[in-house]
Amino acid sequence: MYIRNAWYVAGWASEFGQELTSVTVLEQRLVMYRTNATTVVALEDRCPHRLLPLSKGKRIGDDIQCGYHGMTFNCSGACIRVPGQDNVPSSAYVRAYPVEQRNDIVFVWMGDAEKANTDLIFDMPEFTSPQWHVHQGDALHLKAHYLNVAENLVDPAHVSFVHPTTLGNAASENVPVHVDTQGDVLVAWRWIRDAEPVGFFQKFGGFSGNVDRWHYYYLHLPSIAVIDFGSASSELNLEEQDRNQGVRIFALHFLTPVNEHYTIDRWLHIRNTAVDDEAASEQMDAMFRIAFNEDKEILEAIDEQEQLPQSRKPIRLAIDKGPTVYRRRIRDMAEQEATEDLGEPLHPTFVHHE
Amino acid sequence: MYIRNAWYVAGWASEFGQELTSVTVLEQRLVMYRTNATTVVALEDRCPHRLLPLSKGKRIGDDIQCGYHGMTFNCSGACIRVPGQDNVPSSAYVRAYPVEQRNDIVFVWMGDAEKANTDLIFDMPEFTSPQWHVHQGDALHLKAHYLNVAENLVDPAHVSFVHPTTLGNAASENVPVHVDTQGDVLVAWRWIRDAEPVGFFQKFGGFSGNVDRWHYYYLHLPSIAVIDFGSASSELNLEEQDRNQGVRIFALHFLTPVNEHYTIDRWLHIRNTAVDDEAASEQMDAMFRIAFNEDKEILEAIDEQEQLPQSRKPIRLAIDKGPTVYRRRIRDMAEQEATEDLGEPLHPTFVHHE
Amino acid sequence: MYIRNAWYVAGWASEFGQELTSVTVLEQRLVMYRTNATTVVALEDRCPHRLLPLSKGKRIGDDIQCGYHGMTFNCSGACIRVPGQDNVPSSAYVRAYPVEQRNDIVFVWMGDAEKANTDLIFDMPEFTSPQWHVHQGDALHLKAHYLNVAENLVDPAHVSFVHPTTLGNAASENVPVHVDTQGDVLVAWRWIRDAEPVGFFQKFGGFSGNVDRWHYYYLHLPSIAVIDFGSASSELNLEEQDRNQGVRIFALHFLTPVNEHYTIDRWLHIRNTAVDDEAASEQMDAMFRIAFNEDKEILEAIDEQEQLPQSRKPIRLAIDKGPTVYRRRIRDMAEQEATEDLGEPLHPTFVHHE
């Protein structure tokens, strides 16, 4: 189950250059490259003649020449040359996907091209604010379904158990979770008041006494997560809207569903502390890598189990509110995509009288 | 086709300690560990919440806490804690499997728990007799169906061809095989009288002249084999019941069906010669390893062939009597397991008048 | 889709000796060996008893003894011994395949044995002529369907794009291709007149000026290709029938379909230049290896794509004439094999009045 009408991250800007690069998103194989004008292009990576991936061919200026018989396509996917004949058959084209680069991230639109609205591309003002430091992390590859990976990113309850040495500790085990929906964004959050700082904030907050700690999980449907977490001295008794007064970090996760058992999670972080301190960035990367590999181990083990025969239905708990709302929204979006073009029936079979 | 109401070997006693160990038997994944009282526990290795194997969690005393959201189960499989809520849903449990340790071997019952009768666990008096030396061998992993592995253990006819340098030689190629059924034990046997000793007894018997050699294959249904083999000087003209007067070895094979193409064969040997001589044990291990790897090569090649399309039915020979009886018994046991709870119909559809 | 009534190459003569060798052709596993009289035998590589490949057994003179229970088969596939019983069941045999060695190549007939006509075995007079030098190359293994591999060998249009540094260059990109059918041989050819010599003929032709270059692709159905290519000084203005006056090379490809995604391409070359010059043979091998690995990369990428879901039909181009005719002929041959034994109906259901 994929949502197609959405901007997905195809890669960091640095992943794309003049050379032909093959990228798979929602099981579609794309060939991507920068034109001489440095804009990024994404075409269907399969020649319509004998199915050779075009990424095995070569560039002729801004066009791609297939590596088998030389059919050549321009960057809007139109065939401009068939060696051995003068005419070009009308079926000789490859699909072109809308692409947009923003904040050093390359987004690709996987649905109907006419619905590709660049206003919908994920952004936040901290990317370009001098008070904040942006640092790109890694591309974590997980043998897991993107719905399970995303669910994990709107699930504060796992932190105490999966990340006890970095992002959580026992203080939060029984603290209730709030969940809300704001348009296409789900939010799950909780505050742990007056507790020992967790590993991360011991290291980067410089706190000596107890802190108030928050976790806000914003899930931008279908698959971009912003985890806003931070700590402030408990003496401040910080209000929700004053989080910038504490040590605050946004961990962003851009999930790219490759197929139903493979997801790439490109993550970066934005912080209001240690701005321009590259050593701090690297220490944070190291800590995040520990934490995210803890998630990876669990998510891959679950993917394996989900593929085995099941003898009973999984159970749902009170802490599942975020994941449950998330899955319901995804089902609704998929349903809407599958039906949105039908329109009203001319002669309805069933008429509802109120 | 598995027989569920049976004790299977989950491992040697030494394979289980305080740590959580994942073991697969009949395609069921179990998490096993020793409690603080050192008894071994086996639980379903899958949290009913999000399916994470419990073996990825951690012990809290004698209980297991799931590594994802902290659901905690005691050693009878009951859930005793759900973080974030006070009540425990009735579906929050994992299956517990009866476990019994005997003769340094851990057995697990894979069928209905109320039918688990410890009197049915395999045993033999030589395990605890001072005249006999018990030595644990290896756990041989075979990519083969357990029925084919077991069949091989009630099949004296393969020995001359598969193990010509260790357990057999040409003298036995045409010697007839006897087969009998004693309750839940099949026996196939033959004596090769007045022949050169085979490799094994040249090495461990110290024979200079011809010997009488016997092979008795006892198959305890469904999947434990005892191979009683030995030699005595032909001059003694030994009777069947006097085998203890010769050099006698029991090679025991405990087959654990992991899935339909993977079987673990844990083997050990018990002997009335070279008692307490560890060097002899190791030499025997070495010879058994050669022989059992010869079986492994053949059984894995057959498993591969059986998965390919078949153009004709396999043929059965006179020497197949043991295997044929074995497979028929297994089919009967599986049939009985599938139907034993139906009871007599109240209103029979068909009435048989005699 | 396989054509069964055909001679396929099982290997070079040097691949077969006294030892038992397992070879797979058209998904059939064969055990092959040389008898003491040095003729090559091919039997079904599966004992009819417990399915063990006979290649895991051992030779007893010219016969094979199964490695499991000693059933023994002679080189026409008849069972001549069943240990433990006197009679031999009528179903105890393995299929024997007609084999013929010619020009140091071993051919096996995969269809009805009574149709195996040795006159149909591929041959050409240059194999034994002193004016020509024969040199065996490699066995190239491709994870690709043999129809795609063969299609590539009747497709002159790919040479400019796949082999630009060795066998082709840009001069031929738009030169038309002729296609003809001569019985069970398809021919596709083109001449590139008055152009720079390609890499191969720069190296082996010693040409200083422009040349006329030809490519003739003879595809002997179902899967043997002869590529006749050569060059001569353009000043000679060579006629088609005078190609021996130029530097001429035959590259032969014997395709063995192993299964639907695996093909072995054994290739050799025959030339009228540098006769008996082994250094030249090795230099040619090196150049061919570069070129054939270029094909391999493309054919394996296509095989991968063909196994994925397809959203539209592949398109056919003017240059596809050779491949298109080839595939139609193969379909006709397969159809004929599937129906040839039906004969005329005695009481036709449909009568056609003209």
Asked if C301's CB is within 8 angstroms of A83's CB, the reply is: no
Judgement on whether residues A91 and A168 belong to the same structural domain of the protein: no
Q: Write the CB contacts of B203 (distance below 8 Å, at least 6 apart in sequence).
A: B283, B287
Q: How remote is the C-alpha of B29 from its chain's centroid? A: 18
What's the structural domain count of chain C? 2
Question: Among A211, A241, A217, which residue's Cα sits nearest to residue A229?
Answer: A217
Interface test with C, best of A50, A66, A79, A259 (most C CBs within 10 A): A50
Phi, psi (5° rounding) for residue C19? -75, 160
Judgement on whether residues B144 and B101 belong to the same structural domain of the protein: no
CATH code of C199's domain: 3.90.380.10
Residue A47 to chain C, least CA–CA distance (Å): 9
Query: What pLDDT score was predicted for residue C176?
Result: 77
Judgement on whether residues A195 and A286 belong to the same structural domain of the protein: yes
Q: What value does the mean pLDDT take over residues C186-208?
A: 87
Q: Is the pLDDT of residue C345 over 60?
A: no
Judgement on whether residues B114 and B177 belong to the same structural domain of the protein: no
Residue A207 to chain C, least CA–CA distance (Å): 55
Angle at C142 between CA C136 and CA C144, to 5 degrees: 135
Q: Is the pLDDT of residue A353 over 90?
A: no
Q: Which residues of C touch A91 (CB under 8 A)?
A: 312-313, 315
Q: Is the pLDDT of residue C81 over 70?
A: yes
- Report pTM: 0.90
Residue C348 forms part of a structural domain = no
Range of the domain at C34: 7-118
Residue B227 to chain C, least CA–CA distance (Å): 18
Residue in chain A lying closest to C315 (CA):
A49
Q: In degrees to the nearest 10, what's the CA dihedral of A64, A65, A67, A68?
A: 140
Q: Is A113 exposed, middle or buried (0-12, 13-18, 19+ CB in 10 A)?
A: exposed
Residue A352 forms part of a structural domain = no
Rounded to a whole number of angstroms, the CA Rg of chain C reads: 23
Better-predicted residue by pLDDT, C110 or B340:
C110
Question: Among B37, B36, B38, which residue's Cα sits nearest to residue B13?
Answer: B38
Judgement on whether residues A111 and A212 belong to the same structural domain of the protein: no
Per-residue pLDDT of A42-88, as tens digits, reads: 999 999 999 999 999 999 999 999 999 999 999 999 999 998 888 89
Asked if B160's CB is within 8 angstroms of C83's CB, the reply is: yes
Percent of chain A predicted with pLDDT > 70: 95
Structure tokens, B184:
């839940």
Judgement on whether residues A73 and A146 belong to the same structural domain of the protein: no
Residue A147 forms part of a structural domain = yes
Domain final residue pick, A118, A143, A175? A118
Query: What pLDDT score was predicted for residue B175?
Result: 76
> B with C: how many residue pairs have Cβ under 8 Å apart?
67
Phi, psi (5° rounding) for residue B247? -80, 120
Structure tokens, A235:
């003496």
Interface test with A, best of C152, C319, C324, C326 (most A CBs within 10 A): C319
Residue A232 forms part of a structural domain = yes
Query: What pLDDT score was predicted for residue A349?
Result: 56
Percent of chain B predicted with pLDDT > 70: 95
Q: What value does the mean pLDDT take over residues B285-302?
A: 95
Judgement on whether residues A114 and A187 belong to the same structural domain of the protein: no
Better-predicted residue by pLDDT, C342 or A74:
A74
Residue A342 forms part of a structural domain = no
Least confident of A142-156, C65-79, C308-322: C308-322
**Chain A residues with at least one Cβ partner in B under 8 Å:** 157-158, 160-162, 173-174, 176-177, 297-298, 301-302, 305-306, 312-319
Residue A143 to chain B, least CA–CA distance (Å): 14
CATH code of B64's domain: 2.102.10.10
Option in A160, A298, A315 nearest B52 (CB): A298
The answer to whether B65 touches B56, Cβ cutoff 8 Å, is: no
| Cα–Cα distance list, A299 to A186, A262, B20, C144, C207 (Å) | 21, 11, 19, 35, 64
Residue B2 forms part of a structural domain = no
Least confident of A194-208, B30-44, B249-263: A194-208
Q: Which residues of A touch C302 (CB under 8 A)?
A: 50-52, 68
Asked if C319's CB is within 8 angstroms of A83's CB, the reply is: yes
Asked if A177's CB is within 8 angstroms of B70's CB, the reply is: no
Q: What value does the mean pLDDT take over residues C201-206?
A: 83
- What's the pLDDT band for C351 if we cut at 50, 70, 90? low
- What's the pLDDT band for C347 if we cut at 50, 70, 90? low
Query: What pLDDT score was predicted for residue B156?
Result: 85
The answer to whether C270 touches C134, Cβ cutoff 8 Å, is: yes
| ipTM for this model | 0.89
Residue in chain A lying closest to C157 (CA):
A69
Percent of chain A predicted with pLDDT > 90: 76
- What's the pLDDT band for A339 if we cut at 50, 70, 90? confident
Residue A254 forms part of a structural domain = yes
Asked if B91's CB is within 8 angstroms of A317's CB, the reply is: no
Per-residue pLDDT of B228-257, as tens digits, reads: 999 999 999 999 999 999 999 999 999 999
Query: What pLDDT score was predicted for residue A142?
Result: 98
Per-residue pLDDT of A216-262, as tens digits, reads: 999 999 999 999 999 999 999 999 999 999 999 999 999 999 999 99
Query: What pLDDT score was predicted for residue B51?
Result: 96
Question: Within 10 A of C153 (CB to CB), how many other CB atoms are there?
Answer: 27
Question: Among A57, A110, A84, which residue's Cα sits nearest to residue C175?
Answer: A84
Nearest-angstrom CA–CA distance, A144 and A300 = 5
| Cα–Cα distance list, B114 to A250, A299, B8, B271 (Å) | 54, 35, 16, 36
Q: What value does the mean pLDDT take over residues C239-254?
A: 95
Per-residue pLDDT of B297-351, as tens digits, reads: 999 999 999 999 888 888 989 889 999 999 999 999 999 898 755 555 566 555 5
Interface test with A, best of C169, C305, C313 (most A CBs within 10 A): C305
Domain final residue pick, A102, A118, A134? A118
Judgement on whether residues B242 and B98 belong to the same structural domain of the protein: no
Query: What pLDDT score was predicted for residue B92?
Result: 92
Asked if C315's CB is within 8 angstroms of A92's CB, the reply is: yes
The answer to whether C85 touches B317, Cβ cutoff 8 Å, is: yes
Judgement on whether residues A130 and A228 belong to the same structural domain of the protein: yes
Q: Is the peptide bond before C222 cis (omega within 30 degrees of 0)?
A: yes
Report the b/e string of B89-115 with b at 16+ CB within 10 A.
eeebbbbbbbbbbebebbbbbbbeeee
Least confident of B15-24, B312-321, C285-294: B312-321
Domain final residue pick, C93, C118, C143? C118
Structure tokens, A13:
């800007």
Residue B344 forms part of a structural domain = no
Judgement on whether residues A278 and A191 belong to the same structural domain of the protein: yes
Question: Among A134, A150, A174, which residue's Cα sits nearest to residue A2?
Answer: A150
Q: In degrees to the nearest 10, what's the CA dihedral of B15, B18, B19, B21?
A: 40
Judgement on whether residues A108 and A131 belong to the same structural domain of the protein: no
Q: Which residues of A touch B56 (CB under 8 A)?
A: 297-298, 301
Q: Is C58 exposed, middle or buried (0-12, 13-18, 19+ CB in 10 A)?
A: middle
Chains near C with 3+ CB pairs less than 8 A apart are A, B
Q: How remote is the C-alpha of A124 from its chain's centroid? A: 15
Judgement on whether residues A109 and A129 belong to the same structural domain of the protein: no
